[in-house]
Amino acid sequence: MELIFLGTSSAVPSKYRNHSAIALKAFGEIILFDCGEGTQRQMVQLKLSPMKVNNIFITHLHGDHILGIPGIIQSMGFRGRKEKLNIYGPPGIAMVIDSIMNLGYFTLNFNIEVHEIDGGILIDEKEYAIECAKTEHSIPNFSYSIIEKKKPRFLRKKALELGIEPGPDFGKLHAGTSVEVNGKIIKPENVLGEPRKGIKIVYSGDTRPCDALIDLARDADILIHESTFQADSPDKAEETCHSTAQDAANVALQARAKKLILTHISTRYKKSKILEKSAKEIFKNSMVAEDLMVVKVK
């Protein structure tokens, strides 16, 4: 599982930071969170194929989080995509996508299904689930939680004692299907250990610190939190409905997250280490994201 930071700037891009976009490479696909201008070019640099993107999750409808969508959709069309593309976002995302479909001249041979969200579980697959919560910004913003579903450990020794031969039956039992051995039904619970906690990753989008985000990020392995401002600009952060590095650190601390990654950095900060230092004063395991940074999640 890899977290790939395609864009880490706030509002406008800079020489070193592109508009907001994060890719999660996991479960045999690429899941995209926000899609700022220039996202697909960042993907090209890291050899990430947009054809493997089946789901795009938009936090809110400010331009620095959505203006890459038209380009990535048209590139998918040029490459002959046939598979459906799902786009999730706050109310109004359907109108945005409808406008995109009437932008210029192009042909698509795949369907785009738009989902206007209002909180709760959005995807519940065999390997993972994605949940969202409405958080506090100047316009509707949704934060996202990605939770890996980890199978219980397969008790090989116990299976052998029950007369099960290594092979397909091992896989069936581990996948949750009962098997018959010498006329006896062996159930998965007979050969599986205790449930195991999967990885949990939370992305804030743009937000003020709030209880909804703390609840969503509870016990997260990684909390990706916007940090538009340094600690010396709390009034500016509150005025624009953003967060400081210290705000993000306090959210991580209250949520009992294991790691904090700061993103959405204002162009006023040429040296982002000052943000990291501020966060670490409150939450030690903090770091600042850089464009094209890849974090392997274990």
Catalytic positions are: 64
HEC readout, the chain: CEEEEEECECCCCCCCCCCCEEEEEECCEEEEECCCCCHHHHHHHCCCCHHHEEEEECCCCCHHHHCCHHHHHHHHHHCCCCCCEEEEECCCHHHHHHHHCCCCCCCCCCCEEEEECCCEEEEECCCEEEEEEEEECCCCEEEEEEEEEECCCECHHHHHHCCCCCCHHHHHHHCCCCEEECCEEECHHHCECCCEEEEEEEECCCCECCHHHHHHCCCCCEEEEECCECCCCHHHHHHHCCCEHHHHHHHHHHHCCCCEEEECECCCCCCCHHHHHHHHCCCCCEEECCCCEEEECC
User: Which residues are 2's β-sheet partners?
Assistant: 25, 296
d(CA 265, CA 8) in angstroms, rounded, equals 6
CB 133 within 8 A of CB 101: no
φ, ψ for residue 227 (rounded to 5)? -145, 70
d(CA 264, CA 247) in angstroms, rounded, equals 13
d(CA 256, CA 215) in angstroms, rounded, equals 10
